[in-house]
Amino acid sequence: MAGSNRNLLVLPGDGIGPEVMNEVRKVIAWMGKKRAVGFDIQEDVVGGSALDKHGVPLSDATMKTALEADAVLFGSVGGPKWDNVEFDKKPERGLLRLRKEMDLFANLRPAKVFDALVDASALRPEIVKGLDIMIIRELTGGVYFGEPRGVTTLPNGEKEAIDTQRYKSSEIRRVCAVAFELARKRKNKVCSSEKANVMHTGVLWRQEATKLHQESYKDVELSHMYADALAMQLVRWPAQFDVIVTDNLFGDILSDEASMLTGSLGMLPSASLGAPDATGRRKALYEPIHGSAPDIAGKGLANPIAEALSFAMMLRFSFDLGTEADLVEKAIENVLAAGYRTADLLGGKSEGVKKVGTQEMGDAIVKELDRLA
């Protein structure tokens, strides 16, 4: 829609990315038609598909468009076709470049259990029912980007690989601030996680979190937990958590773990946010937590809900369209309550549910939006 003032870059990527994005396009179109919420959409390639087309997993032109967009909606990247490309050309590098150059340091990964799906979780219903936690993962620092890194050959001929974990006070403070701010709008609890028992970055992380808390967020309850213990507590008693804030690598791992509490990796959206500029606008990228799932790509089996919920997060965080975001989330909740399940959500169950493919799930969501509006 021309002149909407909402510039959106859509990057479907590889594997199931394009399939789930097709369904979200239906939701985007619905917003334009039924709610007069239009977007100026540009679409481009990223990951393996960019490598095939341009020889790099993210072209400079696409990077520039992303920096100028109000928001980026991302699918997924990677697949066996590109398993053997050199390190700097791996499809994942495209996504990492976007995160780094857009300075998207705060990655919000909510894990919310829909009532209809309590049985799909690997944990007992009484442990996960009503669960609503938010993992905030630092996204532009730590071992993902720390220098020095690389592989060298030692004088004796053997190889040595190096990755470096490093964090500055300012990097820790800014992501912890996002956690405290968000907690205030939720249950007012932050659990900061690192391994201060063995890592210098962990010691600094704990110090900075504590200091910032003392300076500006005393009203929020702050606790600290080693990342290994947190991994254990997440499956033992997840409801003890509200907001969890942690570094890039621990956040990557713990958010995958948290996703299984909700029943499927196919359910979880995420928002990656930068610092607000002078006008309050944050650079932002929205993506499902799941990957490109090459094993089911092209078969119409993928669950489009994580991508749709990522779009809902975009409505809420980038465009202040809370009512519209609620509508999308409510439609998804209702569709699940009505028994619609993609394969990943079945958990061995077939009674009282309606097994659907990617497109049918997308259509069901749009139909429910029509009913709700």
Per partner kind, with CB cut-offs from 5 to 8 A, the member of Mn ion, ligand IPM, none near residue 19 is none
6 - beta bridge partners? none
* Cα–Cα distance, 344 to 87 (Å, whole number): 31
Interface residue with ligand IPM, options 252, 307, 329, 368 (CB under 6 A) = 252
Q: How far is the CB of 332 from ligand IPM (least distance, A)?
A: 21
- Pairing state between β 159-164 and 146-153: antiparallel
Residue 260 to residue 50: CA distance in whole angstroms: 31
**Is residue 267 part of the contact set for ligand IPM (CB under 6 A)?**
no
Binding site partner of 95, from ligand IPM, Mn ion, none, Cβ cut-off 5-8 A by kind: ligand IPM
- Using the minimum distance from each CB to ligand IPM, give the nearer residue, 38 or 75: 75
Position 247 contacts ligand IPM (CB under 6 A) = no
Q: Give the number of other CB atoms < 10 A from CB of residue 129.
A: 13
Q: How far apart are CA 127 and CA 137, in angstroms?
A: 24
| Min CB(146)–ligand IPM separation in Å | 14
Q: CA-based angle 54:141:208, to the nearest 5? A: 165
Answer with the entry of Mn ion, ligand IPM, none that 333 interacts with (C-beta below 5 to 8 A by kind).
Answer: none
Distance (Å) of CA 20 to CA 86, 266, 280: 28, 10, 31
Determine the residue with CB nearest ligand IPM: 92
119 lies in the site for ligand IPM, by CB under 6 A: no
| Binding-site partner at residue 92 among Mn ion, ligand IPM, none, CB < 5 to 8 Å by type | ligand IPM
Considering only residues 81 through 100, tell me which ones interact with ligand IPM, judged by CB under 6 A.
92, 95-96
Helix, strand and coil content of the chain, in percent to the nearest 5, comes to 45, 20, 35
Radius of gyration (C-alpha) of the chain in whole angstroms: 20
- The listed partner (ligand IPM, Mn ion, none) that binds 132, CB under 5 to 8 Å by sort, is none
Looking at the annotation, which residues are catalytic? 144, 195, 228, 252, 256
Site size with ligand IPM, rule: CB under 6 A: 4
Q: For binding to Mn ion (CB under 5 A), which residues are involved?
A: 252
CB of 109 to ligand IPM, least distance (A): 8
217 Cβ contact partners less than 8 Å away, ≥ 6 residues apart: 177, 180, 184, 190
Site residues, ligand IPM (CB under 6 A): 92, 95-96, 252
